[in-house]
Amino acid sequence: MIKNNMKPSIPLISSAILALGLLSVGAFIKAGIDNFSNRDRQVSVRGLSERTVEADYVTWPIQYRVAGDNLLSLYDQVTSNNATIVSFLTGNGIAKEDISINPPDTYNASANQYGSSNFQYKYALDCTVTVATENVTKVRELLNRQSELLKEGIPYSNSYINYEYRNLNEIKPEMIADATKAAREAAQKFAADSDSKIGKMKTATQGQFSIDDLSSSTPYLKKVRVVSYIVYYLED
């Protein structure tokens, strides 16, 4: 009886399996090298978002000085002046709770050992009535009308009027999205110019928000600004 020797030998099968395994390992190694190579290629971009907004809070100090030799008389004058200023403000739309009257700073010329003895008045009182309100539009209107206080005998002066923008949290999400979009567009432009395409985001850093006056002549207008810094992978 003749035996059938057509079955493949075990060594031949083992060799074929080994060859397939080596091919697979080689493919995986190549893919890993290509991936590592692509990971080494990246682009750093930044995205800017800016907005112009109107101030939503204002602090307006109205200051004046009275001088004389009799403190009681000066006290009555200050009381009358403060009442006139408050009446002017409340009568023109400023809420009473938005008005504060600071105690006067008193200067005694005769008690100043380093001052001149040739002073005209013994006492000088520096007084401040402060408006702090969200009604920015009304304050801007009254700034143009405060000369009416001169008719009442109040020689006022304005120190720094401070305008603020406090509703930043309301526009933060949209501005961050705009900055991220601008950064991606910059990365896409770079990738197109280098015959590449952008891959996944590697890192992202959000800069701090800044709020500045739009100009020195319009302090009630604010420029809000934020910059996002993003690194993308580049792929072939």
7 part of a folded domain = no
Give the domain range for residue 108. 58-163
Residue 122: the pLDDT is 87
Regions of the chain with pLDDT less than 70: 1-40, 110-119
Both 183 and 134 in one domain: the answer is: no
Residue 21 lies in a domain: no
Among 139, 163, 187, where does a domain finish? 163
**Residue pair 166/56 in contact by the 8 Å Cβ criterion:** yes
Cβ proximity of 131 and 143 under 8 Å = no
Q: How many whole angstroms separate alpha carbon 46 and alpha carbon 179?
A: 8
Mean pLDDT of the chain: 85
Compute CA distances 118 → 47, 65, 110, 115, 152, whole Å: 64, 20, 10, 9, 30
Q: For the segment 93-105, what is each residue's pLDDT rounded down to a tens digit?
A: 999 999 999 999 9
Contact by Cβ (8 Å): 198, 43: yes
Do 129 and 96 sit in the same domain of this protein?
A: yes
**Cα gap 142→172, rounded to integer Å:** 32
Q: What is the pTM of this model?
A: 0.75
CATH of the domain at 120: 3.30.70
Give the pLDDT confidence score for residue 170 in this predicted structure: 96
Amino acid of residue 56: D
147 & 125 share domain: yes
pLDDT digits (tens, 9 = 90+) for 115-150: 555 567 888 999 999 999 999 999 999 999 999 999
Question: Which of 148, 163, 178 is the endpoint of a domain?
Answer: 163
